[in-house]
A and B are shown apart, each in its own frame.
Chain A
Amino acid sequence: MLRFLFRRSAQGALIVWIVATTAFVLLHLAPGDPVRASLDSPLVPESVRAYWVGRLGLDRPLPEQYVRYLAAAARGDLGFSFPHRRGVGAVLADAIPNTLLLMGVALALSFAIGIAVGVFQARRHRSAFDRGIAVGSLVFYSMPDFWLALMMLLVFAYALRLFPVSGMHDAVMYPYLGPWARLADLARHLVLPAVTLTLLGAPAVARYQRAAMLDVGRADFVRTARAKGVGERRIAHRHVLRNALLPVITLLGLALPALLGGSVFVEKIFSWPGMGTLTVNAIATRDYPLLTAALIVASVMMVVGSLVADLLYALADPRVRIT
């Protein structure tokens, strides 16, 4: 077990290093730099830009910048975000909890609903219910995410006024609310983006779960159980569900990075101040330190996600033993 963890950690570190290096090199080869992108007015004297370029070390040779970057990153210093005029760490620390909240809720809902619907569909395979859900989930599954988000915004926030348009808090009242009212305010703002993400995510989970249930249902050990006279309900729960959860667990591991990566379009359209919008803005403002850090965070989450998936897999499947 320890050896397994050690090996996986080493592999993970390697992956993160590859991502960091590639991002660093590619971004520094790209035209434009954060100083020029922020101080873009022709009125800014060249000497001012040169000063900032020097202060941020952008005029050094690439290998030197790279070594400095790695050394600083190893100390936990991810650099300075020029467009935000703050350290990258502080900017990330503001955004990460927001994304964690939104994506956590959305992932939990997607998996809970997706698994439940998938199981139900499989049990009533080829029934009208199964087909109805299949068509419905396929429609959402096939919708561009920005399109669904725009529609949700127009219908539920604008036309019906059931929920606030966007953001995380009521900009006016939030500072004056008590803790419970603050929680309620946050929840009201969370509904639309979380539901949008769930509508996009749950169909995928349901499709996976349904297919897995049907596959397992045809497997030999289930036939054997059935032949031995084990009740259908017991088969469904003890044999099928447990085995059919395995592929879904893999899916969960793949989905974990989104916890910190956020969703570019949904965050943008609902103005959720998370990592997705932060990263896209970092691209627009040529904020390379922030962008590199965001990509590193994404790859760390990916590594952790696949590790978690493997561990859960072992937990659910007695045949797998981690060595």
Chain B
Amino acid sequence: MRQHTLLATLFLALAACSRGERAAPGGENGGTLVVSVGADADAIIPPVTSNVTSVQIGSLVFEHLAEPGALINAIGDAGWKPKLARSWSWAPDSLSITFHIDPRAHWHDGRPVRASDVRFTWQLYIDPRTGSDVAPLLANIDSVTAPDSTTVTFWFAHRKPDEFFDAAFQMRILPEHLLTGVPRDQLQSSEFARHPVGSGPYRFVRWVPRQSIELVADTAYHLGRPHIDRLIWSIAADPNAALLRVMSGEADFIEYLRPSDLAEVAKHPELKAVRYPSMAYAYLLFNERDPDAPSRPHPVFGDRAVRRALTMAVDRAALVRSVFDTLAVPSIGPITHAVASYDSTVVQIPFAPDSARALLDAAGWRDTDGDGIRQKAGRPLRFTINVPSSSTPRMRMAVLLQQMFRSVGARADIDQMDFPTHSQRVAARQFDATINAMVSDGNPATVRQNWSIPAARAKDGGNAGSYESPTFDALIDTASTQMNPAAARAYYHRAYQVLIDDAPAIWLYEPVSFSAMHRRIHPVAIRPDMWWANLDQWYIPAAERIPRDRIGLADARP
């Protein structure tokens, strides 16, 4: 073949030599999916990265022992499907779970996956030198044993309903034979992290820094060949450009559409928009401690009545409608629709500006000098809202909130800062109020990390607003040890009600995930926490393919 082949000839040639493979049930094999993303990966090795692109690539190259169904269930193993483990069994005392590794499972270099790889992975995750942020979540795993090459047993310290979740979902299994010689503290910068070898449905092919990352289907994958031949992450530094790539046909999929993009996508008949629930929610968090003197309560937000009054001043339905149109719903608390413990019967603080004014009057905040801002003992009702400038919805919310607070006599100043500064100020508790976003991991017991007393008092604890309620903590503790889902639900309901009545935050919005993709892409079972979780089952029907689908499994030119 001549070197300077024209693009078109190349497509034809590739089409001619693409093998006619048997169409799997529910889909046909072949095609190329180009994903438009806004950030390059950092290290593609699951325990040490939280970079979203690295996580996406990592979860296609590496596998969990088992995967949850559409509703993320952290209690027991209901709805969970085999992945690297073919099956599992619980010990009668529920203190250990034994997984049986699928004997067909293999690493992409051809070696079989063994039980010792699982044990190695656990040791690697909890090694402090690795520095994995998952390590604290594995605290309940006491030890891992591998009695034979396909059997691995997890032993737990305490009997808890979420122990299966911890063992199956928190870790992605890594190859012992490739990582055993790599110093744990150099995993991040290791050669492996740039050329990962896993056991998942897709093999890593290449990574052009800040441009693209390419994966190809592992046709011998133990759970059946993934349908789409080739996955390419196309990296754009600018959100506008990332979207335009999809609109102009250069890419096939973008995860996150902004409300203003809705109309634009509708103008493109070759695109379709797909909605699915998300695990994210955002809220205006009040700091209940004085940021300058943490031993004292916050001069404004230390008072529950003031927090409740400010909540009543906010028309959350209008806020969400204005910023998101139909792409979000008002949030009701630290839970989202996609979490099993979601409970819409929790009573909310209503939008009632007149009651808000009355409540503030009663709390001693009055506008005595007629400037429109209330005072109490010479201190104006004034505070700062921190927002990360990377998030347009949160910036807009802040501007709208500012005006709503003003209408009840409170003055809010907006402090926009870049994302790292924002996180750092939250962690250091240097804020009056801040708009935070949280992604739930599906385990309702995780709310403790953000709202419990220990998390408020620990250095660097996640309860940055220092909300403290022994009642709430007790209810969550009881709920999280219930092995019966209905009983757990009842206790969670009561816990949420206590939290919401105390108004430690104004619950703002829960976005609906809204992705755009090319019409020929047929997604299967998009999961709310990770749209890419079942990407190996997506397919592109042969009749709808476009030229780039015909590359197939061929290798690139040198």
Contact = CB atoms under 8 A, between A and B. Distances in A.
Contacts of A52: 131
B54 to A, nearest CB: 10
Interface string B225-246: 0000000101111101110110
Interface in A66-119: 80, 83-87, 91, 94-95
B137 interface: yes
B379 interface: no
B180 interface: no
A158 B247 contact: yes
B189 interface: yes
Contacts of B459: 46
B222 interface: no
B212 to A, nearest CB: 4
Contacts of A94: 209-210
Nearest to B11: A173
A165 B427 contact: no
A271 B424 contact: no
A177 interface: yes
A277 B237 contact: yes
Contacts of A44: 131, 133
B3 A269 contact: no
A36 interface: yes
Contact of A42 (B4, B7, B427): B427
A175 B250 contact: no
B208 interface: yes
Nearest to B54: A85
Interface in B1-33: 2-7, 10, 14, 32
Contacts of B6: 181
A180 interface: yes
B234 A83 contact: no
Given A85-B189, A177-B7, A36 B42 contact: no
A258 B28 CA distance: 50
Given A153-B241, A165-B250, A176-B556, A32 B3 contact: no
B418 A284 contact: yes
Contacts of B245: 165-167
Given A46-B460, A166-B245, A167-B234, A51 B185 contact: yes
A45 interface: yes
Given A51-B128, A178-B5, A271-B235, A171 B241 contact: no
B210 to A, nearest CB: 4
A176 B14 CA distance: 10
Contacts of A271: 235-238, 241-242
Nearest to B233: A171
B541 to A, nearest CB: 19
B248 A161 contact: yes
A178 B50 contact: no
B86 interface: no
B557 A176 contact: yes
B268 to A, nearest CB: 11
Given A48-B131, A51-B129, A165 B244 contact: yes
A313 interface: no
Contacts of B460: 42, 46
A179 B210 contact: no
A158 B420 contact: no
Contacts of A167: 211, 234-236, 245
A175 to B, nearest CB: 3
A160 to B, nearest CB: 10
A42 B248 contact: no
Nearest to B548: A172
Contact of B128 (A48, A84, A161): A48
B189 A80 contact: yes
A84 B7 contact: no
Interface string A22-53: 00000000011000111111111111100110
A225 B556 CA distance: 65
A322 B185 CA distance: 55
B211 A273 contact: yes
Contacts of B10: 173, 176-177, 181
Contact of B461 (A42, A51, A165, A281): A42
Contacts of A284: 418-420
A272 to B, nearest CB: 8
Nearest to A90: B209
A85 B42 contact: yes
Contact of B241 (A161, A175, A270): A270
A253 B17 CA distance: 54
A157 interface: yes
B44 to A, nearest CB: 10
Interface string B402-429: 0000000000000000111101100100
B43 A269 contact: no
Interface in A131-187: 150, 153-154, 157-158, 161, 164-173, 175-181
Interface string B186-217: 00110001000000000000101111101000
Nearest to B5: A178
B462 interface: yes
A210 interface: no
B240 A269 contact: yes
Contacts of B250: 164-165, 170-171
A144 to B, nearest CB: 15
Contact of B135 (A45, A168, A277): A45
Contacts of B244: 153-154, 157-158, 165-166
Contacts of B421: 31-32
A85 B188 contact: yes
B449 A42 contact: yes
A181 B4 contact: yes
Contact of B237 (A31, A164, A267): A267
A165 B36 CA distance: 12
B136 interface: yes
Q: Which 8 A-B pairs have the closest CB atoms?
A: A175-B556, A180-B4, A273-B210, A48-B131, A171-B234, A37-B420, A178-B3, A166-B241
10 contacts: A40-B423, A45-B135, A51-B185, A83-B42, A158-B247, A165-B241, A165-B245, A177-B7, A178-B4, A267-B237
Interface of A: 31-32, 36-48, 51-52, 55, 80, 83-87, 91, 94-95, 150, 153-154, 157-158, 161, 164-173, 175-181, 267-271, 273, 277-278, 281, 284-286
